[in-house]
Amino acid sequence: MVCQPQDIFDHFGFKGQNAPQQISAPALPPLSNSQSMLLDKLGNTPQHLDKLAMESGLTPMEVSAIVLHLELLGLAQSLPGGHYIRAFPS
């Protein structure tokens, strides 16, 4: 008689089978303060590079370099027209 799921495992000879472990989100690589700040400003809504520069107080050149690095890390995605989004759900 089957009273619990383990009874089925036992019947078919699966001993010591545990439930699969939950997969946790990958840890973020170490980021500078500027990288973390810009990553926090990115979401699912496209943000223009100039707007990111104005909101962060950084120059457009600095923002461009930082979001490129975030792209290489797989944390940001560039879109046409100088817009960027976060590469994974916020």
Residue 48 belongs to a domain: yes
Q: What is the DSSP string of 16-41?
A: SPPPPPPPPPPPPPP--HHHHHHHHH
Does pTM surpass 0.85?
Answer: no
> For residue 78, which phi and psi values (nearest 5 degrees)?
-85, 145
Query: What residues are paired with 59 via a beta bridge?
Result: none
Residue 21 lies in a domain: no
- Is residue 26 one of the residues assigned to a domain? no
Domain count, the chain: 1
65 within some domain: yes
On whether residue 88 sits in a domain, the answer given is yes
In a domain, 81, yes or no: yes
* pLDDT attached to residue 13: 78
The boundaries of the domain holding residue 36 are 31-90
Contacts 24+ apart (CB under 8 A), 7-16: none
- Write the pLDDT tens digit of every residue in 9-50: 788 877 665 555 666 666 778 999 999 999 999 999 999 999
Residue 80: CATH number of its domain: 1.10.10.10
